[in-house]
C-alpha cells in the first residue's frame, strides 16, 4: 500500500510540503554554508549545527508563520 493511501486511511491529508522540508533539511546538512552567518568584521563566517524552518501561511486570520525547531 502506498504512503498516500495509508495517510488517507488514517484521515490525514498528505501534501508535498513535508517532503520539501525534508529535502531542504538534507540540503542544509550537505551544504552548511547556507546555514551560516558572517562575523561582525565580515572576515569569516560561523556555521550552525542545527537549523529551524519557518513556513509562511496565509490564513483567514492573517499571516501565520509556524517555526519547526531542530529539523
Domain around 39: 14-68
Average pLDDT, the chain: 90
Question: What is the widest separation between alpha-carbon atoms in the chain?
Answer: 55
Task: Identify whether 45 is part of a domain.
Answer: yes
What is the reported pLDDT for 8?
Answer: 87
Q: Which helix (H) or strand (E) holds 46?
A: strand 45-47
- The radius of gyration of the chain's CA atoms, rounded to the nearest angstrom, is 17
d(CA 36, CA 45): 7
Number of domains comprising the chain: 1
Task: Identify whether 8 is part of a domain.
Answer: no
What is the reported pLDDT for 30?
Answer: 93
Give the residue-averaged pLDDT of 4-29: 89
Task: Identify whether 56 is part of a domain.
Answer: yes
The neighbour count for residue 68, using CB atoms within 10 Å, is 12
What is the reported pLDDT for 60?
Answer: 95
Task: Identify whether 9 is part of a domain.
Answer: no
Amino acid at each position: 500500500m502506498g504512503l498516500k493511501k495509508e495517510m488517507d486511511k488514517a484521515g490525514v491529508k498528505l501534501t508535498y510540503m513535508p517532503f520539501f522540508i525534508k529535502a531542504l533539511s538534507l540540503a542544509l546538512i550537505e551544504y552548511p554554508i547556507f546555514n551560516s552567518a558572517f562575523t561582525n568584521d565580515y572576515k569569516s563566517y560561523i556555521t550552525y549545527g542545527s537549523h529551524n524552518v519557518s513556513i509562511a501561511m496565509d490564513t483567514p486570520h492573517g499571516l501565520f508563520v509556524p517555526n519547526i525547531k531542530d529539523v
